[in-house]
Structure 1
Amino acid sequence: MRSSREGPGRRDGGERVERPSPRRRATVDYMRAAGRRSVVHGLVEADVTRARERIRAIESETGERPSFTAFVVHCVARAAAEHPSVNAYRDWRGRTHVFDAVDANVLVETTVGGDRLGVPHVLRDANRRSVRSLHEGIRAAQAARDPTDLSLAAAAALRLPGPIRRLVWRLPRWFPRRWTALAGTVAVTSVGMFGPGGGWAIAPTNYTVQATVGGIAEKPRVVDGDVRTRELLALTVTVDHDVVDGAPAARFVDRVVELLEGADGLASWDDDPEAAGDGG
């Protein structure tokens, strides 16, 4: 009689059975918790031709290419500071906690073991920092020791039963201040960093507001009465409707697009970066 297994983790017919890693289980836990929020997704396009031209000019002048993600974080953080209703969490008692500092949780692209990964990193006080300061915070995170390393406590926590593990994702409702200290107040995730071309991405989130950066595509657009080819960024802005009403959310999105299209913060690249530090 033939054994049903031909080797560790492998079945007849070439099927391979793998156990999920602790980090994969954490991702699943996050998605389940985030899927319970009353979110609304807004799919918008922003003309980033001017910003991209300025980024290329800075690279030509200095030999250093500014992070496009840092530029987006700058615009989102500034808009959130101007519209603080999105920089908030609602607790289990129905109270809204509004924060002054905009702490942006970003996906930082790094390479581990030959694979390109996006790992979370919090840029503290993003609304008070220059694009260059945010850029340097992202570059420092990319150059840090393997960001996927887990402490012994974190590794042990990710091996707990699912219902217990998923309790951590309820922190925004239970303890908004503690969640902010751990993971920030807004999120910026860049799907476009992993491939060229246009297109939007829609993802659940555990934040009151999240900006998901999609692709950039060249499209015709009317500018000053003429049809010109422009670089248009596909941006998804996700807002928790339990915390923010539609009108304030729309004004926030309009402001983000305005700042992106105006290349806000890129003209002063040569200024000294601000001293505000990051949090991990």
Structure 2
Amino acid sequence: MFFLIFWYFDIIKLHSTMSKYRIQQFPDSRLATMDICEIGKQKHHVTGLIELDVSESRKKIAEYNKVHQEQISFSAWLLAVIAQTLQKHDRASSYLIGKNKQIIFEDINISILVEKEINGSKVPIPLLLEKAQELSIEAISKLIQDAKLKPLTDKDIVLHRKRQKSERLYYKLPGFLRRLFWRYLLNTPKLAFQKMGNVSFTSLGMMGDVKGWFIPISIHPVCFGVSSTVKQPVVYNDQIIIREILKMSILMDHDVMDGAPMARFIAELSKNIERGLNLYG
């Protein structure tokens, strides 16, 4: 009895000394992010953490932008390199179908995140780059820029279209039913490819000026997490000099690709990025 009385007065004291706070509602699209994270934790992703010397590539992009009215971005160039390299290693972007089969798509459809402001809050919204292996760096840059400038409200879930009735219903469902939708999507690879592509790319580490790696959670077969480019000493042409180094994490689904092919893909991708594939100057 005395214990309950003391406990009651402790609670009163706690509330009387509690600091001020505010409750803020976040956009409904945040629920989908939570569901994707929950499903993504169950994927058999192997994570690679790599460092890439992008000094020459960034220099060529800067030189290009000096003489061209249509600017290209570093992220757009990375996306173009990833798409073209993945086309040669298409098993990396394939989906598991059944117990011992995989469906390999000819096209590389990349889902990227574009940060938008909704009701005063910055929210990452997905944008799908279809047939990215066929898009030029200029075309990808324009698509990203247009998506950033397009007005967006909390009535939108995906850029360029309004919510459908099924999407409004989705947000009203309890969590376990919402996650059943994502499991169904992954078990229907053709639909998954159509709706969200077969590759995920996030450069949120760039926005936060991250000095190391960050490891995203994804439901895609392959996912790229790009951090900031930092200057650090490296051995270059047998000399220790300061170079611009990009830190990138790569998540690859071990269910559809073995370790050796993964290593060959990462090796070729690293080579293409460091030599500035498709850049001139």
TM range (shorter): 0.7 to 0.9
Closer/same/farther in 2, CA of residues 115 and 66 from structure 1, 3 Å limit: farther
Aligned: 1:256 with 2:269:
yes
Deviation at 1:198, TM superposition (A): 2.2
Is there any run of 5+ residues in structure 2 with no aligned partner, and where? 1-10, 158-162
Say which structure is richer in helix: 2
Of 106, 127, 131, the residue aligned with 1:125 is: 131
Closer/same/farther in 2, CA of residues 127 and 16 from structure 1, 3 Å limit: same
TM-score by length of 2: 0.85
Q: Which moved more, 1:18-27 or 1:220-229?
A: 18-27
Q: Is the 8 A contact 1:131 1:266 kept in 2?
A: no
Partner in structure 2 of residue 107 of structure 1: 113
For the pair shown, which has the larger CA radius of gyration, 1 or 2?
2
Aligned: 1:38 with 2:51:
no
Distance 1:110 1:236 in 2: 24
Aligned: 1:224 with 2:237:
yes
Is there any run of 5+ residues in structure 1 with no aligned partner, and where? 5-10, 269-280
Distance 1:113 1:161 in 2: 24
Closer/same/farther in 2, CA of residues 21 and 114 from structure 1, 3 Å limit: closer
Closer/same/farther in 2, CA of residues 138 and 171 from structure 1, 3 Å limit: farther
Q: Within 5 Å, which residues of 2 pair with 1:118-267? A: 118-146=124-152, 149-150=156-157, 151-153=163-165, 154-267=167-280
Let me know the Cα RMSD of the aligned residues.
2.5
Partner in structure 2 of residue 278 of structure 1: none
TM-score by length of 1: 0.85
Closer/same/farther in 2, CA of residues 86 and 114 from structure 1, 3 Å limit: same
Partner in structure 2 of residue 57 of structure 1: 63
Aligned: 1:47 with 2:53:
yes
Closer/same/farther in 2, CA of residues 94 and 18 from structure 1, 3 Å limit: farther
* Deviations 1:51-78, CA, capped at 9 Å, x for gaps: 1111211222235542222111111111
Give the number of equivalent residue pairs. Answer: 262
Amino acid at match of 2:224: A
Amino acid at match of 1:225: D
Distance 2:239 2:145 in 1: 39
Amino acid at match of 1:183: M
Partner in structure 2 of residue 276 of structure 1: none
Distance 1:140 1:90 in 2: 33
Distance 1:114 1:57 in 2: 36
Q: Which moved more, 1:106-115 or 1:211-220?
A: 106-115
| 4+ aligned runs moved over 6 Å, structure 1 | none
